[in-house]
Amino acid sequence: MKIARIDFGAAGGPQVTYGPLGEYAGLGGRAMTSLMVATEVHPLAHALGAENKLVIAPGMLSGTTGSMSGRLSVGCKSPLTGTIKESNAGGQAAQVLARLGYAAVVLEGKPLGNDLYKIVINKDGIQVIVDNSLKLLDNYPLVAKLRTEYGDKVAYMTIGSAGERMLLAASIACTDPELRPTRHCGRGGVGAVMGSKHVKAIIIDDAGAKMRPPKDPDAFRDANRKFVEGLRKHPVTGEGLPAYGTNVLTNILNEAGGYPTKNFKSGTYEGSSKLSGEAQAELEIKRGGKATHGCHRGCVIQCSGIYNDKDGNYLTKQPEYETTWAHGGNCGIDDLDTVAMLDYMDDNIGVDTMEMGVTIGVAMDAGLIEFGDKEGAIRLVEEVGKGTPLGRVLGCGATVTGKVFAVERVPAVKDQAMAAYDPRAVQGIGVTYATTTQGADHTAGYAVATNILKVGGDVDPLKTAGQIELSRNLQIATAAIDSTGMCLFIAFAIMDQPETFQALLDMLGSFYGITMTGDDVVALGKKVLSAERDFNTRAGFTKHHDRLPRFFYNEAIAPHNQTFLMKDEELDDVFNW
């Protein structure tokens, strides 16, 4: 494995160099991106300037025959939050890049002039090519155009017009097995950083490349088999997610009183049943779509799906729970077709669905449109795609929009919007929102698993007891899982099944020819978090940034009629390990 660096500020145009892993040996995914950004990027650099770097890294097991190993990490200093950022996605990019022998591809510097570039990566190396014909294309037409030149046996990473305009909510799209640009490194504005390097597309072609071979093939094969068995017998990864996707959570969170409604004014939504995973799956099947689909080859959970319009034509991938909530209940919209259209538009323009949904909720609170206005919501996202002044404000996220329109209730931490769980009803996720290194990110320490789903134990979501330890342990574990290239949903099975966790350890150990223990996983997670925390400290962040917006402390939410109860000194203890 090697690291490739592309210097866009080099005299005479972009220069590609290749080097060994060196100090980054043994790292992958989030460990690679965060350690590299923390080491090489000045913490006070402008996120859209030449000093920032965009690090693209497959996971430690990506490119192998290991199931669920196709997650790709993209890291940088975030233009949205000002913190360090790792955003990851499924799709085909990680597997293909790893099979070509790259542990990381790093975009550095900043080009002069206005030329737009595409990067072609194959077994012969890396080419950086000027292609101004791609300017301001959105993701679906962009991939369609690239396919006429590079074909259907490659993976594409692209940015839409939002990334090109360097809007702070811009994402990077990765194509799925059907070459649809539906799997997004969504959070933190990573697409804007790719746009700042004038890179419109990355084409990754692994023709002639082979699977990465494990040090002990027999042991790896046996461990992978046991790992898959564990995933298939767990009720979440083997039943709930394959049948209904992540949107199985809509009814569950609504019943728990933790489903934020109309910009976090209530914990329940009267229209939730119309948005549920059950209703969504039934509609998808009725229209000839799919309720079960894998976002990359080698996925055994299959939590995605295919959503067709009322005429039976493909519209978008199955909108995930957070997307359905953000554009649905959060905006007072209970129509799945509207949510699906907004999901398609977000993917096409290239913006984070969560950030955009919360932003529209803030805009509704400001009176730009009314809650429940389906056509108005679509019109606002169209503004983002057009790049109008209003669209540029909205495309820079909830915090910017809240400031421009003087809205007090902006559900964001470190300027990143919260996802579909109200911290007043799910105290543990509030701890994660407040303290994660990357802004309000539910995946960073998914306390919902234990607070609501009772996976890995039972911590009462309405009480403070046990929440700090829960969030701490989950943040450590998540940082490690994000480094392996494994889908985070494996956590449900490995938290409940010691034998499945052991199978994962055995996969890592037999692949690298080492003995891997649970303590090693904890050490890796702590190493990643420590590097991220150090970067943020040097960037000017303090414990006072590890707080929720004040309205969560001051406004009680129905139906439980309570506020966020965690004390500041408790939050300050999360990283005291």
% residues pLDDT > 70 (the chain): 100
Say if residue 461 is in the same domain as residue 552.
yes
| H/E segment holding residue 572 | none
Whether 88 and 225 share a structural domain: no
Q: What is the mean pLDDT of residues 375-392?
A: 98
**Considering the domain boundaries, does residue 313 fall inside one?**
no
Task: State how many domains the chain has.
Answer: 2
Last residue of a domain, one of 177, 204, 231: 204
pLDDT at 244 over 90: no
Q: At residue 242, does pLDDT exceed 90?
A: no
As given in the structure block, the two tokens for residue 457 are: 């134990």
Residue 240 has pLDDT above 90, yes or no: no
In the block, residue with structure tokens 């990110």? 441
Instruction: Give the closest residue to 351 by CA, choosing from 28, 153, 80.
Output: 80
Q: Which of 184, 204, 224 is the last residue of a domain?
A: 204
* pLDDT tens column, 8-58: 999 999 999 999 999 999 999 999 999 999 999 999 999 999 999 999 999
CA 414-418-421 angle, 5° bins: 145
Position 137 in a domain? yes
Do 520 and 542 fall within a single domain? Answer: yes
Query: Closest Cα partner for 77 from 105, 96, 50, 110?
Result: 50
Where are the alpha helices (H) located in 234-335, listed in sequence order? 235, 241-244, 249-255, 272-275, 277-286, 321-327
Given this model, what pLDDT does residue 36 score?
A: 98
Q: How far is the C-alpha of 237 from the C-alpha of 97, rounded, in Å?
A: 27
| CATH number, residue 456 | 1.10.599.10
Whether residues 189 and 74 share a domain: the answer is yes
CATH number at residue 184: 3.60.9.10
Highest mean pLDDT among 125-139, 226-240, 477-491: 125-139
Contact 423, 432 (CB under 8 A): no
User: 137 with 7, same domain?
Assistant: yes
- Bridge partners of 60, per DSSP, are none
Q: What is the pLDDT of residue 358?
A: 98
pLDDT score of 267:
97
Residue 364: the pLDDT is 98
The answer to whether residue 461 is domain-embedded is yes
Q: Identify the DSSP state of 54.
A: E
Asked if residue 494 and residue 428 are part of one domain, the reply reads: yes
Say if residue 466's pLDDT is above 90. Answer: yes
**Same structural domain for residues 231 and 87?**
no
225 and 150 in a common domain: no
pLDDT for 262 equals 98
pLDDT at residue 107, as a whole number: 98
Is residue 418 in a domain? Answer: no
Average pLDDT in the 437-447 region?
96
User: Do 200 and 230 reside in the same domain of the chain?
Assistant: no
Residue 87 shares a structural domain with residue 37: yes
449: in domain: yes
Kindly report, residue by residue over 151-193, the tens digit of the pLDDT: 999 999 999 999 999 999 999 999 999 999 999 999 999 999 9
pLDDT tens figures, 532-552: 999 999 999 999 999 999 999
pLDDT at 241: 86
> How far is residue 431's CA from residue 137's CA, in Å, rounded to a whole number?
39
Domain finish residue from 145, 179, 204: 204
pLDDT at 276 exceeding the cut of 90: yes
User: Are 93 and 13 part of one and the same domain?
Assistant: yes
Q: Domain for residue 253, yes or no?
A: no
d(CA 278, CA 248): 7
DSSP-H helix ranges across 135-294: 139-150, 161-164, 190-196, 217-233, 235, 241-244, 249-255, 272-275, 277-286
Single-letter residue type at 1? M
Which residues contact residue 20 at a Cβ distance below 8 angstroms, ignoring those fewer than 6 apart? 2, 3
Domain that holds residue 451: 216-244+423-577
Quick check: is 343 in a domain? no
Mean pLDDT of 257-268: 98
**pLDDT for res 224:** 94
Residue 33 lies in a domain: yes
Residues 225 and 164 both lie in one domain? no
For the segment 474-478, the average pLDDT, to the nearest whole number, is: 96
Task: Indicate the average pLDDT of the chain.
Answer: 96
